[in-house]
Amino acid sequence: MTSVSELSYSELRIDIDRLSRRLAELAAIGAIEGTEGCARLALTDEDKAGRDLVVNWMHDLGLEVTIDGIGNVVGTMAGQNAGPPVMCGSHIDTVRTGGRYDGNLGVLAGLEVVETLLTAGVTPARPLAVAFFTDEEGARFPPDMLGSLVYVGGMALEEALDITGIDGARVGAELQRIGYDGSAPLPGAAPYAFVEVHVEQGPVLEVENITIGAVESVQGISWTEVTVTGQSNHAGTTPMSLRKDPGFVATAAATFARELAMELGHPQVATVGRIEFFPNLVNVVPARATFTIDLRNTDEEVLQEAERRFATFLAATAQSEGCTIETTILARFEPVLFDPRIVDIVHGTAQSLGHSVQRMPSGAGHDAQMMARVCPTAMVFTPSVNGISHNPAEYTSPEDLEAGTNVLLHTMLTLAAE
Ligand code: GLV
Ligand code: MN
Ligand code: MN
């Protein structure tokens, strides 16, 4: 078989209709009625059904499929030579109100690359692999990027299996229940390189009218769960001066988080995305409030400052209200720089395919940021209409999906031929 480095392969292009069909078929699982979006929280029945579909596609394409102990699935296409594969991939779990592209694109684009090569009769010099990692979202089982974190040895398998989700379920039990507690070794073998194509999930590419983002870095992520405990009492009879109101502390902290992010300035962001009061009744001063705080920045020092100032405000507000606080770190990852050489290949590939391209950081977390610990890694971004994501309205045009997947194809071919 001829080597992929030969010029004729530069004409290869993916089939966008085939990719769009797969995206639609996967999105039908856990579809949110009346929308284009889907709900496949990690390790739920919907996640299992999505996994089964993608694994079937992997088998149909003749890939060798392995499943490890945290449920990461890797499908490998043999190369002319043995050795570590050029790997791509992402995740197929979604948030509860997710779009059809977040994560799913990176996995199905990988299958599209494989099918394009099989159809053209091309066997790359190095093996190629397509992976989907468990619980990238972390929405049910924090931290995010859990599967890829375990893959790279950043968390012991036993610790990961013991994580309790927001619904009280445990990772290990759920993996067993859906039949994805595999036996492939962990940490997983380091690939030759890793490339993840993903929708941007933000507004930059669309605003700048650019088709491809060559992602250079991922910002640091800090997730904390806070439980504030006070004195539950009658809402009508308890004078304001005598209250120990955890609801007040939680909402004051949420307001402070916004002010803090505004003061620190771009790219600092702060989000209170989950908040629960107990007993959550109109006429009861709550006994307890639990909320999450998500802080992110590309600059580790500023991120640490945001963490410190938020913690100081929270402690002072709780104390003056007579409440106590308990905090649990759900996720903490420092900013990650991708491999400049792989970023250059992505950038050059996009240019050679005639697409506008710009280097940029990622605001969202991605499996690629974990893979960057063990192999040269970079990402390809495609535009998100109106910058909307983690929302069923998430949308990327077929033309942009096609462009991103062709950049993935040729980036992988370049790496496989090295
Ligand atoms: C994970 O996808 C995140 O960025 O929250
Ligand atoms: Mn994602
Ligand atoms: Mn996501």
**pLDDT of res. 243:** 98
- Regarding the beta carbon of 294 and ligand 1, being less than 6 Å apart is answered no
Identify the nearest ligand to the CA of 389 by its number: 3
pLDDT tens, position by position, 17-36: 999 999 999 999 999 999 99
Report helix, strand or coil for 73: strand
Copy the structure tokens of residue 162.
């013991």
Q: Which long-range contacts (CB under 8 A, 24 or more apart) does 322-326 make?
A: 322/230, 322/231, 322/244, 323/228, 323/229, 323/230, 323/244, 323/245, 323/246, 323/249, 324/228, 324/229, 324/230, 325/226, 325/227, 325/228, 325/229, 325/249, 326/226, 326/227, 326/229
Q: Is any atom of ligand 1 closer than 6 Å to the C-beta of 295?
A: no
Is 90 exceeded by the pLDDT of residue 4? no
Q: Taking 80 as the threshold, does the pLDDT of residue 367 lie above it?
A: yes
Count other C-beta atoms under 10 Å from residue 280's C-beta. Answer: 11
Cα–Cα dist 267/78, whole Å: 42
Residue 1 confidence (pLDDT): 43
Span between the terminal Cα atoms of the chain, in Å: 16
Reported as a single tens digit per residue, the pLDDT across 191-201 is: 999 999 999 99
9: pLDDT confidence band, cut at 50, 70 and 90?
confident
403 C-alpha vs ligand 3 centroid, how far in Å?
21
d(CA 71, CA 56): 15
**Could you give the CA distance from residue 297 to residue 301 in angstroms, rounded to a whole number?**
9
What pLDDT score does 153 carry? 98
Cα–Cα distance, 385 to 368 (Å, whole number): 23
> Which ligand is the nearest neighbour of the Cα of 133?
2
Ligand 1 neighbour 137 (Cβ under 6 A): yes
pLDDT for the residue 2: 45
Beta carbons of 42 and 140 less than 8 angstroms apart: yes
Of ligand 1's atoms, which has the minimum distance to the CA of residue 138? 1
Question: Cβ(368) to ligand 1 under 6 A?
Answer: no
Looking at residue 250, its pLDDT comes to: 98
User: Per-residue pLDDT averaged across 52-57, rounded?
Assistant: 99
Mean pLDDT estimate for the chain: 97
Pairing verdict, β 288-297 and 275-278: antiparallel
Pocket test for ligand 1, best of 90, 94, 134, 144 (most atoms within 8 A of CB): 144
- The DSSP code sequence of 322-345 is T-EEEEEEEEEE--EEPPHHHHHH
- The 3-state DSSP class for residue 249 equals helix
The residue type at 397: S
Say yes or no to pLDDT of 53 above 50.
Answer: yes
Which of the listed residues 221, 292, 391 should we mutate to test ligand 1's pocket, taking the one with most ligand atoms within 8 A of CB?
221
Are residues 129 and 77 in contact, defined by beta-carbon separation less than 8 angstroms?
yes
Per-residue model confidence (pLDDT) at position 239: 98
Ligand number, closest to the Cα atom of 95: 3
Average pLDDT over residues 237-260: 98
The CB of 46 under 6 Å from ligand 1? The reply is: no
Does residue 321's CB lie within 6 angstroms of at least one atom of ligand 1? Answer: no
- The atom of ligand 1 lying closest to the CA of 103 is 2
pTM, two decimal places: 0.95
> Closest ligand 1 atom, CA of 364?
4
In order of start, what are the domains of the chain with their CATH numbers?
2-198+338-416 (3.40.630.10), 220-333 (3.30.70.360)
Paired tokens of 103: 């994560």
Average pLDDT over residues 292-305: 98
Cα separations in angstroms, 405 against 10, 88, 127, 211 = 14, 11, 18, 12
pLDDT digits (tens, 9 = 90+) for 125-151: 999 999 999 999 999 999 999 999 999
